[in-house]
Amino acid sequence: MVTAPFLGRAAARPIPGLSRRITCQHVSSNILLKGLRLSLQKTFGREFNSTSRLLDMIDLDKTRNIGIIAHIDAGKTTTTERMLYYSGFTRRIGDVDDGSTVTDFLPAERARGITIQSAAITFHWPPRGTTSEVDNLSGQGLDAKGLPRSAASHTVNLIDTPGHADFTFEVLRSLRILDGAVCILDGVAGVEAQTEKVWHQASTYRIPRIVYVNKLDRDGAAFGRTVREVGSRLHGWPAVCQIPWFEGGDGRFTGIADAVSLTGLLWNEAGDGKSVKAFDLAGLEAENSKLANELKRARVALVELLSEHDENMVEKFLDHEEDHLAVPSIDILRSLRKCLLDPANTIIPVFAGASFRNMGVQPLLDAVTNLLPGPIESPDPEINVGNTTGSLGQLLSGNFVVEKNTEAVTGKSKQKKKAATPAASGNNNPAASLESCSLAFKVVSDAKRGVLVYVRVYSGSLNRQSLLYNTNLNVTEKAPRLFKMYANDAVEVESISAGHIGVVAGLKYARTGDTLISCTGGKMNPPEPLNTLQLRPIDVPPPVFFASIEPHSLSEERSMQDALALLLREDPSLHVTVDEDSGQTLLSGMGELHLEIARDRLVKDFKAKATMGRIEIGYRECALSHSVAVTKTFDREIAGRKGKAGCTAVVQPYDPAEEQLGLPENTIFAEIRDGNQIVICAPGLDIVTDKHDREQSSKLPSHLDVNAFRASLFNGALSALSRGPQFTFPVHSTRVTLTCDVGEHLFGSESSASAISAAARLATQAALRDLITTSPNNSTALMEPLMNVIISVDEASLGAVVHDISSARGGHIISLDEAIPITTALDATSGVGDEVVIDVRKIYAPPDPFESPRIEDGSSMQASANQPRTITAKVPLKEMVGYLKHLRSLTAGRGTFVMHVDRFEKMSAPRQKAVLADLNSL
Ligand SMILES: Nc1nc2c(ncn2[C@@H]2O[C@H](COP(=O)(O)OP(=O)(O)OP(=O)(O)O)[C@@H](O)[C@H]2O)c(=O)[nH]1
């Protein structure tokens, strides 16, 4: 038995070569340096000639951009607080329950005990000063007693993501910038619906993940059952790296046994978790022979599993005379890592602990640095340039080809012409002038430092004072100050290099999700097509709840609008519209909690003197019949200048799910936006492409190019569609056809972009109103959000929940126990989305205390009343308001659910009548 302070020097053992494609030893050799340069060149698509850049890369090899993802309340914040404590960044352990945590630092978060904004924190593991560089260079391997700890301190940038379904978009935004993730499961609740959802979202970005089964100290905790659920619900083979140590086999949770290093770790229950007793296998046999035997079974299962996925492990196994226990720990770790980083990976390493009791967190941190990838090993990020999707690596290496969308003027079909960008031709590569490329993944308003924009730098180096071009907003702004964030403490830096996360302070426009690029030579505007570069763009789902916001007095209006603008920079899944008729400001969002938090941020944090009205469902209004063609001419002064333009509009029903309606003659543009199709026809327009690749027409006034002409008409229609003619809800499932005849509707220099836009708006509004005049009984109908609901319950409550959904809530049960549908587009070529069929009987999982005897065909699991069941249903959103409370009462507190908008569905006449009566009674 060894008693060692967990963070002590003695505990820090070297893992040579592990996760270290680049090590200090390498730097001493010129030959290796050359090899390394070539490998980096291949990965990053550019040359690394200077040794200082190479050293940057070495630093990157010891960087982990990691997220923590999980279901609400699984213990993310509690675990993060321990990570900060053990790594030396805090002197005491923060507590979620008394609101003293570091990561949940918004007052609203502290008050509710949940994580809302993903906080990005940097710390080092193992803590600096506790590792020995001499050990690192000595090339020793791990022995059977050794703890699997890297000898080199790593920089861990930790992104804590929210677990509530309303914040799924926030989770997605954070996921984009991660290289790896820890998925925390509640050992009592197992794999929950939200976990499945986020898990699959992480698959979209091919993020390697490890699982940490937390809360093993709680009554009813079932590690074995959770491991099987990892297999059946997350669709991977659980590689059990640790098993729980229960006192006397079924008593209190006191520690873990590590199947990689064959070590038992026993924590002192009363302590802060820094001191732990480590037992090698012989010591464990003497201390707890039952556990030692289970540990051996776990080790056999681990080696067997890895051998099925990694030929090297088969070799190691044969080298060690087919003795599973004799395979060195270091080889197991290498094999685990290799499998985890393989894009076709199906292995999920599983760890155990109880963060609240301070048990299991340090080995989890070791797993983070040992197994998860650094930025160099992450997949090349996806980008969009114009309409073309590709990867950043392709762009940097000059191999990106922009597809030019030269839509046929005939409107019959959409033709695409491939045009090589200058990027393809050596020296003219515009990417050569790219100094840095970053993604703003979070905007936070800080009381002391103002607005902070969190960025992940993907290429080059973001330097202080550089000019950042925002490709989403087309504005350039200076980056006055740069910081590295340590919880809510900040250290000012001169630059943030590729692969790292940092903060830019002092930006006025950048919003969450914007791409920021800087060019060499301090250029204000990047050359085309760089100015359209978008890193990992994501689709924002439609908002389904809204509430009015009223300032307390007219004089407060301005400050309320400023606060709203800031809120929208922080969270682009919120939308603000102004009702033209009533002048009311409406805020819409993803869920009730989403809007409540927005209100709290506005009123409590930004001190806006405003009141939010009742939160209501965002219905939609759709056209049921054709309007006549209505022509409107706008003829007024705009900002002191005469503006004149005309436009004709027709509206008609449109269902994107049905066979597409043909496009009329002279169509120059057609796009689906917010559930509507906008079609633009321009008879008489002759389009030619100039030498700068811009579309021009001699028939347009000289101040307008084709793009600006199209955009003006499109925006005019969009503005009119924000309000339906009968019920004032936004219009949906409707086609607007705008016709702007260049000979008839344009009036030379008077036809400014604003005048054309205003004409399109007026014409669309008039066509919508015409529906009511022409077909008073069949003009428009209300549509409601239909939700795809996934409910996790016990077998015992299944009947009651199914009955409640289908009878009381008018839902349709779609399936029982089917895998959660993957809602985000997966890269079909990556293989990540392929459904892996896992035979639960083949999964190794240690027996749970009080579990009925193991039956090899798994039938004991089927019989259990605690068996988790999944219900998938489609239910109108209105019926799901306040559902969590009801579900909890039906399931003795165990049921959970997630939902997302499936589509907007037209209501039946009686339902519409009931909903309208309900709305009118407000
Ligand atoms: N018994 C026990 N309770 C725990 C453990 N870890 C966390 N908890 C408790 O579980 C509750 C939720 O913990 P959090 O850390 O806030 O969970 P979270 O996943 O960050 O939750 P959100 O921020 O809302 O997504 C708190 O009451 C914690 O004290 C554990 O290991 N054992």
State the pLDDT confidence band at 816, using cuts at 50, 70 and 90.
Answer: confident
- Contacts of 575 by beta carbon, 8 Å cutoff, 6+ apart: 543, 568, 587, 588, 589
pLDDT in tens, 204-221: 788 999 999 999 999 889
Structure confidence at residue 79 (pLDDT): 92
Q: Residue 501 is encoded by which pair of tokens?
A: 């996360």
pLDDT of 64 over the 90 cut: yes
Structure confidence at residue 93 (pLDDT): 75
Q: Which of 414-418, 425-429, 552-556 has the lowest mean pLDDT?
A: 414-418
How far is it, in rounded angstroms, from Cα 602 to Cα 614? 16
State the complex-level ipTM: 0.98
Structure confidence at residue 822 (pLDDT): 36
pLDDT in tens, 513-528: 899 999 887 777 777 7
Residue 858 Cβ contacting ligand 1 at under 6 Å: no
State the pLDDT confidence band at 90, using cuts at 50, 70 and 90.
Answer: confident
Q: Tell me the CA–centroid distance for residue 790 and ligand 1, in Å.
A: 23
Mean pLDDT across the stretch 335-342?
Answer: 94
pLDDT in tens, 864-883: 556 678 899 999 999 998 88
Mean pLDDT across the stretch 473-501?
Answer: 85
pLDDT of 188 over the 70 cut: yes
State the pLDDT confidence band at 5, using cuts at 50, 70 and 90.
Answer: very low
pLDDT of 742 over the 80 cut: yes
Structure confidence at residue 831 (pLDDT): 37
pLDDT of 694 over the 50 cut: yes
State the pLDDT confidence band at 811, using cuts at 50, 70 and 90.
Answer: very high
Structure confidence at residue 1 (pLDDT): 42
Write down all domains in the chain, each with its CATH number in brackets: 2-377 (3.40.50.300), 382-535 (2.40.30.10), 545-617 (3.30.70.870), 625-778 (3.30.230.10), 783-920 (3.30.70.240)
Mean pLDDT across the stretch 557-583?
Answer: 85
Structure confidence at residue 129 (pLDDT): 63
- Percentage of the chain beyond pLDDT 70 is 78
Q: Residue 321 is encoded by which pair of tokens?
A: 């005379």
pLDDT in tens, 361-374: 999 999 999 999 99
- Percentage of the chain beyond pLDDT 90 is 36
Q: Annotation-wise, does 499 bind a ligand?
A: no
Structure confidence at residue 106 (pLDDT): 53
From the CA of 184, give the closest atom in ligand 1.
Answer: 19
Q: Tell me the CA–centroid distance for residue 818 and ligand 1, in Å.
A: 28
Structure confidence at residue 2 (pLDDT): 38
State the pLDDT confidence band at 833, using cuts at 50, 70 and 90.
Answer: very low
Residue 276 Cβ contacting ligand 1 at under 6 Å: no
β-bridge mates for residue 376, sequence order: none
- Contacts of 837 by beta carbon, 8 Å cutoff, 6+ apart: none
- Give the best-scoring range by mean pLDDT among 17-21, 584-588, 624-628: 624-628
From the CA of 80, give the closest atom in ligand 1.
Answer: 15
Q: Tell me the CA–centroid distance for residue 356 and ligand 1, in Å.
A: 7
Structure confidence at residue 857 (pLDDT): 46
Structure confidence at residue 867 (pLDDT): 66
Structure confidence at residue 422 (pLDDT): 42
State the pLDDT confidence band at 713, using cuts at 50, 70 and 90.
Answer: very high
Structure confidence at residue 455 (pLDDT): 92
Q: Annotation-wise, does 543 bind a ligand?
A: no
pLDDT of 19 over the 90 cut: no
State the pLDDT confidence band at 487, using cuts at 50, 70 and 90.
Answer: low
Q: Is 135 helix (H, G, I), strand (E, B) or coil?
A: helix
pLDDT of 913 over the 80 cut: yes
Structure confidence at residue 127 (pLDDT): 81
Burial annotation 859-876 (CB, 10 A radius, 16+ → b, else e): eebeeeeebbbbbbbbbb
Q: Tell me the CA–centroid distance for residue 721 and ligand 1, in Å.
A: 44
Structure confidence at residue 862 (pLDDT): 42
Structure confidence at residue 365 (pLDDT): 95
Residue 217 Cβ contacting ligand 1 at under 6 Å: yes
Mean pLDDT across the stretch 172-192?
Answer: 88
Candidate from 72, 78, 95 with most ligand 1 atoms within 8 A of CB, to mutate: 78
pLDDT in tens, 134-177: 233 223 333 333 556 666 788 898 876 665 656 667 777 778 88
Mean pLDDT across the stretch 523-540?
Answer: 78
Q: Annotation-wise, does 214 bind a ligand?
A: yes
Structure confidence at residue 591 (pLDDT): 81
The helix (H) or strand (E) run that includes residue 159 is strand 154-160
State the pLDDT confidence band at 835, using cuts at 50, 70 and 90.
Answer: low
State the pLDDT confidence band at 111, using cuts at 50, 70 and 90.
Answer: low
Residue 227 Cβ contacting ligand 1 at under 6 Å: no
**Rounded to two decimals, what is the model's pTM?**
0.74
Closest to 152 (Cα-Cα) out of 176, 132, 123: 132
Q: Annotation-wise, does 74 bind a ligand?
A: yes
- Give the best-scoring range by mean pLDDT among 19-33, 436-450, 778-792, 806-820: 778-792
The answer to whether the CB of 164 falls within 8 A of the CB of 72 is yes
Q: What are phi and psi of 781, to 5 degrees?
A: -135, 160
Q: Residue 53 is encoded by which pair of tokens?
A: 């850049």
pLDDT of 113 over the 70 cut: no
pLDDT in tens, 261-288: 999 999 987 788 888 889 999 999 999 9
Q: Annotation-wise, does 72 bind a ligand?
A: yes
pLDDT of 439 over the 60 cut: yes
- Contacts of 510 by beta carbon, 8 Å cutoff, 6+ apart: 440, 443, 453, 468, 470, 473, 477, 504, 516, 569
Mean pLDDT across the stretch 323-352?
Answer: 93
Between 193 and 799, the more confident residue is 799
- Give the best-scoring range by mean pLDDT among 61-75, 862-876, 905-919: 905-919
Q: Which of 123-127, 422-426, 443-447, 721-725 has the lowest mean pLDDT?
A: 422-426
Structure confidence at residue 859 (pLDDT): 43
Q: Tell me the CA–centroid distance for residue 189 and ligand 1, in Å.
A: 12
Residue 80 Cβ contacting ligand 1 at under 6 Å: no
Q: Annotation-wise, does 745 bind a ligand?
A: no
Mean pLDDT of the chain: 80
Candidate from 77, 116, 212 with most ligand 1 atoms within 8 A of CB, to mutate: 77
pLDDT of 32 over the 60 cut: no
State the pLDDT confidence band at 621, using cuts at 50, 70 and 90.
Answer: very high
- Contacts of 611 by beta carbon, 8 Å cutoff, 6+ apart: 549, 550, 552
- Contacts of 155 by beta carbon, 8 Å cutoff, 6+ apart: 59, 62, 63, 64, 122, 123, 124
In 190-288, where does DSSP find H-type helix? 193-204, 223-234, 281-287
Residue 214 Cβ contacting ligand 1 at under 6 Å: yes
Cα angle 264, 265, 271; round to 5 = 160
pLDDT of 354 over the 50 cut: yes
pLDDT in tens, 358-412: 999 999 999 999 999 999 888 888 888 877 888 888 888 887 777 654 443 333 3
Give helix 193-204 / helix 168-175 axis angle, nearest 10°: 30
Between 10 and 538, the more confident residue is 538
What are the Cα distances from residue 230, in Å, to 191, 213, 347? Answer: 7, 10, 10
State the pLDDT confidence band at 659, using cuts at 50, 70 and 90.
Answer: low
Closest to 456 (Cα-Cα) out of 438, 444, 471, 469: 438
pLDDT of 57 over the 90 cut: no
State the pLDDT confidence band at 759, using cuts at 50, 70 and 90.
Answer: very high
Residue 98 Cβ contacting ligand 1 at under 6 Å: no
Structure confidence at residue 26 (pLDDT): 33
Structure confidence at residue 418 (pLDDT): 37
Between 346 and 487, the more confident residue is 346
